[in-house]
Structure 1
Amino acid sequence: MAQVDIVVRQGDDAVVADSTESRFQLASVSKQFTAAAALLLVEEGTLLLEDPLSRWIDGCPEQWRDITLHHLLSHTSGLGHWEDYPMIDLGQWVEPSELLKTFHSVPLQFPPGAGWRYSSPAYVLVAQIVQRSADTPYRAFLADRIFDRLGLTQTFAGMPTARPNLALGHDADDQPLPTWELDVVGMGAGDVWSTANDMLTWLDALQGGRLLSEPYRTLMLTERARTGKGPAESGYGYGVFLGELNNRRWWHHSGHNAGYKTFVGHIPELDRRFVVLSNTEATTPSILEPLLT
């Protein structure tokens, strides 16, 4: 059944609270967890933001020589988005090595650091770097270092197998849709499942420094690159868009996997947090308007 779960809070007060225990695919909102995972490893010295991609990924083409972890996290690597890789079936599992070969085969959009282009493949590579540098499966790293630590008891990453309380994706006519592949192709880019209440806890933990200490929290939540977009999303940090909403600074991210549309955001000045999780393609951006005023 198609549904939309919404939670909005200002301070300790619920402005809107219409949520269930259903777990939704977060789609690209998952990139916040990917960025946080990488920064945890930077904080402990396992990774450097200046690390070249080739330190962790074998067989990189010459044009990738100057790509760093920072470039991947800030969408300034020159890698394209899914539409630039039409040979990839987002619903089909592939060997990780074959996925890398496909990424290698597509020319960069621009030299690393010379522009901004939103890129889910870049975040797949960040997840692979986390996995290799930590010598731990990516989904297990997230569970141990982030979900369990913050008490996100209904949150997990990857294909769901037989987990309960899943809000399965639907098209705009309320017909079920097959899920995208989340263990390889979507790893790090759109692989996390969660509930509205867990995501509210996540927003509070990220803003409040419960996960990342300084300066890494600030690195994530302040502008690392200009996007060339409008004022509401004029900059990108690591895993978050930044800009101004009604003359107030905010950070946020949206997501869209087949059958799922999501949005989370935080306005620090108002201590206002909002989470929208939907498992239907019928959901449109207009649902956000009354939540943001």
Structure 2
Amino acid sequence: MARVEILVQQGADVIVDDTTQTRYQLASVSKQFTAAAVLLLVADGKLARDDRLGRWFGDSPPEWQNITLHHLLTHTAGLGHWEDYPMIDLAQRMEPGELLTTFHRVPLMFPPGTGWSYSSPGYVLLAHVVERAADTPYRVFLADRIFDRLGLTSTFAGSPGARPNLAVGHDAEERPVPAWELDVVGMGAGDVWSTAKDVLTWLDALESGRLLSEPHRTLMLTERARTGKGPDTSGYGYGVFVGELDGRRWWHHSGHNAGFKAYVGNIPERGRRIVVLSNTEATNAGTMEPLLA
């Protein structure tokens, strides 16, 4: 069944709660977890934001040599988005080496650090860096260092297997659609499943510093690159869009996988947070700002 779940909270007061225990694909909201994973490893001393990709992927095209983790985190590496890689079927698994080679075949849109262009492939690369730096599968790293630590008991990454309470994605006419592959192709870019209440806990953990200590929390949640989007969004942090809404600082992100849409937002000054999860593409989940205002 196609459904939209909305959770809005201000401080400890619930404003809207239309939620169940159903787990939805978070789509690109998953990038927040990827960014946090990278920053946890930076805090551990296993990664640095100015690490070049060559440290982790030695066999790369010459034009990739100056790409850093910071560039990938901020969408300033020059990599394209999925439509720029038509040879990749997002519903079909590829071996990691084949996927990386496919990324190499598409020229950069601009030299690293000289522009801004949203790129899910950049976050796939970050997830593979996390795997290599931590020497553990990416989904296991997220479970051990983030989900379990924060008590996100209904949250996981990757293919769901036989887990219960899973939403089935639907198109705009509410017909079931095949899911995207999330263990390799979508890893780090759109691979997390969760419930609205778990996502609210996640938003609060990020803002409060419960997961990331300073300066890493501030690095993630404040502008690291200008996006040219506006008027309410001026920049991108690490895994979040940032800007001002009605004169107040806010951070937010939307997501769209086949059959799923998601949206999260937070205005810290007001203590107002919103989570929208949907398993139908008929939902316009990215226009929920009035609930935050």
CA RMSD of aligned residues (A): 0.9
2:158 and 2:214 map into 1 onto residues whose CA distance is 29
Q: CA deviation at 1:109?
A: 0.4
SS of the counterpart of 2:118?
A: coil
Written as runs of structure 1 = structure 2, the 5 A alignment for 1:50-89 is 50-89=50-89
Question: Residue 241 of structure 2 contacts residue 253 of structure 2 at CA under 8 Å; is this kept in 1?
Answer: yes
1:260 and 1:216 map into 2 onto residues whose CA distance is 30
Give a deviation string over 1:179-223, Cα, whole Å, max 9, x none. 000000000000000000000000000000000000000000000
1:130 and 1:7 map into 2 onto residues whose CA distance is 31
1:285 and 1:16 map into 2 onto residues whose CA distance is 15
Matched with 1:255 is 255
- Pair 1:38 & 2:38 matched: yes
Matched with 2:28 is 28
Distance 1:286 1:42, change over 3 A: closer
Distance 1:289 1:48, change over 3 A: closer
Q: CA deviation at 1:245?
A: 1.0
1:252 and 1:285 map into 2 onto residues whose CA distance is 12
2:234 and 2:104 map into 1 onto residues whose CA distance is 29
Matched with 2:48 is 48
Matched with 2:184 is 184
Question: Residue 254 of structure 2 contacts residue 285 of structure 2 at CA under 8 Å; is this kept in 1?
Answer: no
Q: CA deviation at 1:288?
A: 1.5
2:39 and 2:290 map into 1 onto residues whose CA distance is 34
1:31 and 1:8 map into 2 onto residues whose CA distance is 21
Written as runs of structure 1 = structure 2, the 5 A alignment for 1:1-293 is 1-285=1-285, 288=288, 290-293=290-293
Please tell me the residue identity of whatever aligns with 1:137.
P
Distance 1:289 1:219, change over 3 A: closer
Give the TM-score, by structure 1 length: 0.98
1:41 and 1:192 map into 2 onto residues whose CA distance is 19
**Percent identity, aligned pairs only?**
73
- In structure 1, the gaps of 5 or more residues are none
Question: Residue 265 of structure 2 contacts residue 292 of structure 2 at CA under 8 Å; is this kept in 1?
Answer: no
SS of the counterpart of 2:232?
A: helix
Question: Residue 31 of structure 2 contacts residue 190 of structure 2 at CA under 8 Å; is this kept in 1?
Answer: yes
SS of the counterpart of 1:231?
A: coil
- In structure 2, the gaps of 5 or more residues are none
Q: CA deviation at 1:287?
A: 5.7
1:193 and 1:285 map into 2 onto residues whose CA distance is 16
Q: CA deviation at 1:289?
A: 5.0
Question: Residue 11 of structure 2 contacts residue 272 of structure 2 at CA under 8 Å; is this kept in 1?
Answer: yes
1:156 and 1:286 map into 2 onto residues whose CA distance is 23
